Structure 1
Amino acid sequence: MVLHTMSQTVVLGVIGSDAHVVGITILEQALSAAGFDVVNLGVQTSQEDFAEAAVAHSAEAVLVSSLYGHAEQDCQGFHDVLDDADIDAVTYIGGNLAVGQDDFEQTRETFEELGFDRVFDSETDPEEAIAALERDLHLTTSESDQVTVTS
């Protein structure tokens, strides 16, 4: 078994009754390419399924996607479920989080109050989320991680 020192596990899924798969498919590919181990739970994932997967895979991050505009009701109590399962992971949510979303700052505040570490709108580039994840998980490359090749 080979252990990668940089490999961090991320649980990814679409919460609640939402069946939009495109966003998490793109995110899964981008996260994998960036070196993360991705556990993709797919669509219509319950809060409990997120928690069980995070425990089973010792996830460092839980990423929630929602595109149908009802994320606030789907995420009520989500962080209580994670806390009850003793999960200490960064939590992100992104997508089209509110129906008729005019003021994203208001939406961001709502989800931060629900306990999310970072909140992204549907226009966010996967690279932006990955850069934030690398900062939050302290994965910036240090000199000790770099390999020197001499000929």
Structure 2
Amino acid sequence: MNSPEKDFQLRVMGIECAPLLAALHEVTFRGGEVWDATSFAALLSGPGTEAMLAVIDTVPVGFILARTILDETEILTIAVHPDFRRRGIGHALVQNVLGKGKVFLEVAVCNNQAAALYEKCGFVKAGLRRGYYRDGSDALVLVSSDV
């Protein structure tokens, strides 16, 4: 069931998908910092912000939200539904963003699975943000190394 698959498609989405992104975010980050549809709509209405949705058949299974300004892109959040992890979806979503110049993001220091994905995609540690998350936990600042 968790074997690598390439049967998903990536689709660019707009502000109309805010409720869908919020629902996927909630399932992915259950018990953590979850963004609601209003937050996603506000982000998607800003300049340079884009959502890329991963779909298997007609089922939304993950997304990445990124904001590009000039030649720098920030990954704001990425989510892959727990039932569809370890199939290359997260990797494909990140790779899609890497073509947009220098890319950076924050990831919780305790999120080893995400950190491993980013390392596999060529990100390196650029710093640490103490108390970055609402619960007071720290975040690693990562930057793409292939710039």
TM-score range, shorter chain: 0.3 to 0.5
- Larger Cα-atom Rg: 1
Which has a greater percent of helix? Answer: 1
TM-score, scaled relative to structure 2: 0.33
TM-score, scaled relative to structure 1: 0.32
